[in-house]
Amino acid sequence: MLSNAKLIKIGNSQGLRLPKWMISKYGFGKNIVLEQRPEGILLRTAEENKLSWEDTYKAMAQSEQGEWDDWESVDVDAEVHL
């Protein structure tokens, strides 16, 4: 879907006014990330890559789950001195 927007003067700068439906549809908040691409500028939410502490913990637990498999073969009764 194509949509037109106009640059508006904001102090010594210019800004882009986005329609309310577009802000709601894409979940834009106070901060928006502008990514320069060869075909133009991509607007995306700033919170896109941020996880909550709970989500971060879950993601870490899932990624490290297989790393403990080696410990299952360790003989805990063996006396090994390092």
Question: pLDDT digit string (tens) for 48-65?
Answer: 556 677 777 777 777 766
**Dist CA 59 CA 19 (whole Å):** 35
The pLDDT of residue 12 is 94
Residues 6+ apart with CB under 8 A from 14: 7, 8
Residues 6+ apart with CB under 8 A from 12: none
Residue 36 has pLDDT above 90, yes or no: yes
Q: What is the mean pLDDT of residues 32-46?
A: 90
With beta carbons less than 8 A apart as the criterion, state whether 44 and 61 touch: no
Q: Where are the domains of the chain?
A: 1-67
Q: Is the domain defined by 1-67 classed in CATH 2.10.260?
A: yes
Q: What is the mean pLDDT of residues 2-22?
A: 90
The pLDDT of residue 8 is 94
Residue 22 has pLDDT above 70, yes or no: yes
With beta carbons less than 8 A apart as the criterion, state whether 35 and 42 touch: yes
Instruction: Tokens for 54, please give them.
Output: 């709970």
Residue 72 has pLDDT above 70, yes or no: no
